[in-house]
Amino acid sequence: MRVETSKGDLPVHFGMNALALFGDLTDRSMSEVMASLANASDLKVSELLALFYAGFACGAKKEDEECKVNDPGDVGEMLDEDMGLIGKIMSVYGDQATPEDGIEEADGKKK
């Protein structure tokens, strides 16, 4: 998905690579990453910026584009210019974190 930002129309993707990068940036294990993202409103601001940066970095990679967002601080500056961007990015995260067809169990059935 793409979001309009002060740096232009940028791709955002919250797949496994973004979760891994977020874990690296915040020094969290996979279980800690998943637990912290279950209630994103409990993240520190610096952690939210790291999550958004990971989404932009992995979105650019997935779309084979140059990433225009340099680091989490760059995200903070973008949010200063458009606080509505938080809602836009969280909407993308929500769409990508929740599969439309449900999660497939080992037996092939959907939850």
pLDDT, tens digit, 9 for 90 and up, residues 18-55: 999 999 999 999 888 888 888 777 889 999 999 999 99
Among the listed ranges 39-48, 51-60, 76-85, which one has the minimum average pLDDT value?
39-48
Total number of domains constituting the chain: 1
Q: Is residue 11 part of a domain?
A: yes
Q: What is the pTM of this model?
A: 0.83
State how far the Cα of 9 lies from the Cα of 14, in Å rounded to an integer.
Answer: 17
What domain range is 92 assigned to? 2-96
Q: Is residue 111 part of a domain?
A: no
Q: What is the distance between the terminal CA atoms of the chain, rounded to a whole angstrom?
A: 25
The amino acid at 83 = M
Q: Is 67 exposed, middle or buried (0-12, 13-18, 19+ CB in 10 A)?
A: middle
Give yes or no for residue 109 having a pLDDT over 50: no
Residue 93's pLDDT band (cuts 50, 70, 90): confident
In this structure, are residues 85 and 79 in contact, taking their beta carbons and an 8 Å threshold? yes
Q: Is residue 101 part of a domain?
A: no
Query: For residue 65, how many other CB atoms are within 10 A of its CB?
Result: 11
Q: Is residue 105 part of a domain?
A: no
